[in-house]
């Protein structure tokens, strides 16, 4: 089992890590590929797509920290640019950061190669810039909507980036999904896949944030262990928090405001 969890001796924790080399394992996830992580019986790897987005990413990070569970995030470039503080919090909490394109278009299976290249490369550059250190970003990519095709996979292969699918999904993006719906689908599908797998979730939905504590309790109660996939090579231990613009009091007694000198046009 993993190291003790400060403040929570009964935490689910993270039992072990698996090093993923994109050359040896270029495509991951049995939903779409013949290869996936080498998980043992009752081992699960948790992944989160589409963020970061407050307050839901914050809530999910709090839940993971309370249980000392480490996961993999696939961040959207424009979201990372908007919330660099959350990108750095994710890394500093011990999670792995992969990428998920710049704008999350649900047309990767139809786009011309030039646009695929722009979406992939801009997404990586944006997340690296938000992190403040390119070494904090793993060579892991998940195609938006899992809309794969050979052209996308070949391009990612030329950049030595592992393409991630999943072994199970919990349909947490459905408009009317409740927390219990998400937990029920996640558990039943993990069990149906041989009591193991990579679970795909999203950290931008309130229902997912509410479901996660329940899901972690269910996994622990049924004897599951959490495994984290990590890239080969060194990563920075911590990233400095981005500097936030100072707030100044409004002379008219209203809300504090950001000084004009700290604002930029978009």
Torsion angle, CA of 166/198/161/229, rounded to 10 degrees? 180
Q: Residue 244: helix, strand or coil by DSSP?
A: coil
Strand 72-75 relative to strand 196-202: parallel, antiparallel, unpaired? unpaired
In this structure, is residue 114 part of a structural domain? yes
Total number of domains in the chain: 1
Cα torsion angle, 32, 144, 177, 40, sign: positive
Of 83, 95, 202, 205, which residue is the catalytic one?
Answer: 202
In this structure, is residue 1 part of a structural domain? no
Phi, psi of 14 (to 5 degrees): -120, 120
In this structure, is residue 160 part of a structural domain? yes
In this structure, is residue 6 part of a structural domain? no
pTM equals 0.90
Tokens matching residue 54: 């407050």
Rg (CA), the chain: 19
Domain range enclosing 186: 16-262
Catalytic residue at 49? Answer: yes
Q: Residue 249: helix, strand or coil by DSSP?
A: coil
Do 79 and 51 contact (CB within 8 A), yes or no? yes
Looking at residue 47, which CATH number applies to its domain? 3.20.20.370
Residue 34 gets which letter from DSSP? S
In order along its 266 residues, the chain shows pLDDT tens digits of 567 898 899 999 999 999 999 999 999 999 999 999 999 999 999 999 999 999 999 999 999 999 999 999 999 999 999 999 999 999 999 999 999 999 999 999 999 999 999 999 999 999 999 999 999 999 999 999 999 999 999 999 999 999 999 999 999 999 999 999 999 999 999 999 999 999 999 999 999 999 999 999 999 999 999 999 999 999 999 999 766 544 444 455 544 444 443 333 32
In this structure, is residue 173 part of a structural domain? yes
Of 49, 50, 172, 203, which residue is the catalytic one?
Answer: 49
Catalytic residue at 172? Answer: no
Q: Residue 86: helix, strand or coil by DSSP?
A: helix
Cα–Cα distance between 80 and 52 in angstroms, integer?
A: 6
């Amino acid at each position: 089992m993993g190291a003790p969890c400060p403040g929570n001796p009964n935490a689910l924790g993270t039992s072990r890590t698996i090093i993923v080399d994109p050359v040896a394992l270029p495509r991951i996830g049995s939903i779409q590929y013949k290869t996936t992580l080498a998980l043992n019986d009752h081992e699960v790897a948790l992944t989160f797509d589409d963020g970061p987005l407050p307050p839901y990413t914050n809530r999910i990070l709090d839940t993971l920290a309370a249980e000392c569970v480490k996961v993999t995030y696939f961040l959207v470039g424009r979201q990372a640019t908007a919330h660099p503080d959350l990108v750095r919090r994710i890394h500093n909490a011990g999670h792995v950061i992969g990428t998920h394109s710049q704008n999350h278009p649900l047309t990767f299976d139809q786009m011309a190669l030039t646009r695929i290249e722009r979406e992939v490369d801009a997404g990586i550059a944006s997340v690296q810039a938000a992190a403040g250190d390119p070494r904090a970003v793993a060579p892991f990519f998940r195609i938006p909507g899992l809309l794969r095709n050979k052209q996308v996979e070949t391009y990612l292969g030329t950049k030595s980036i592992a393409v991630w699918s999943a072994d199970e999904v919990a349909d947490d993006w459905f408009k009317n999904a409740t927390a219990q719906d998400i937990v029920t689908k996640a558990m039943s599908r993990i069990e149906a896949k041989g009591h193991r797998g990579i679970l795909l979730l999203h950290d931008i939905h309130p229902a997912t944030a509410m479901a996660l504590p329940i899901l972690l309790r269910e996994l622990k109660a049924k004897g599951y262990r959490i495994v984290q996939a990590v890239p080969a090579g060194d990563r920075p231990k911590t990233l400095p928090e981005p500097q936030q613009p100072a707030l100044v009091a409004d002379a008219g007694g209203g809300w504090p405001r950001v000084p004009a000198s700290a604002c930029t046009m978009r």
